Amino acid sequence: MSEISDLGRDLQAEAAAMVADVVRVFDSEGREFARQWSRTARLTAGKHGKHYPKSITHELTAVGLVVQLDVGPERGRLQGSMGRGFEFGSVNQRPHLDGARHLRAVERRIERAADAAIERHIP
């Protein structure tokens, strides 16, 4: 019976390590996505949006097996509330699509890195 208990503990520890690795992947890739978006926004925002690139952040929430990544302009930061207009355009300007430009590549990187993190924990 003790061998079964040991196996159960080992599996539980391995599952927790796997989740932690996946969370690290999302955090790292989210941070990189925010950097890329911000860098591109610096090129497109112009003088009227000089603070906008600094409003682009990433936030990770992980509860149990649910990992949520939020990347984009933070409304509480200077010019963060202008994100919708910069990204999707308005009557005053064309859409910049700075975040959208990087989204596909980020999705692929997250998927590959998360798969690799999971594979490391499967014998």
Q: State the pLDDT at residue 55.
A: 97
Q: State the pLDDT at residue 2.
A: 72
Q: State the pLDDT at residue 78.
A: 95
Q: State the pLDDT at residue 1.
A: 62
Total of domains in the chain: 1
Domain that holds residue 86: 2-119
Q: State the pLDDT at residue 7.
A: 59
* Residue among 77, 107, 72 nearest 88 (CA): 72
Q: State the pLDDT at residue 15.
A: 81
pLDDT tens digit at each of 123 positions of the chain: 677 676 567 677 778 888 899 999 999 999 999 999 999 999 999 998 999 999 999 999 988 878 899 999 999 999 999 999 999 999 989 999 999 999 999 999 999 999 999 898 887
In 55-111, the DSSP E strands lie at 56-63, 66-73
Q: What is the pTM of this model?
A: 0.85
**Rounded Cα–Cα distance for residues 55 and 14 (Å):** 37
State residue 78 phi and psi, 5-degree precision.
-55, 125
The count of C-alpha atoms lying within 13 angstroms of the C-alpha of 33, restricted to the half-sphere facing its C-beta, is 27
Q: Under a CB-based contact definition with an 8 Å cutoff, are residues 30 and 60 in contact?
A: yes
Count the neighbouring beta carbons within 10 Å of the beta carbon of residue 96. 22
Count the neighbouring beta carbons within 10 Å of the beta carbon of residue 118. 14
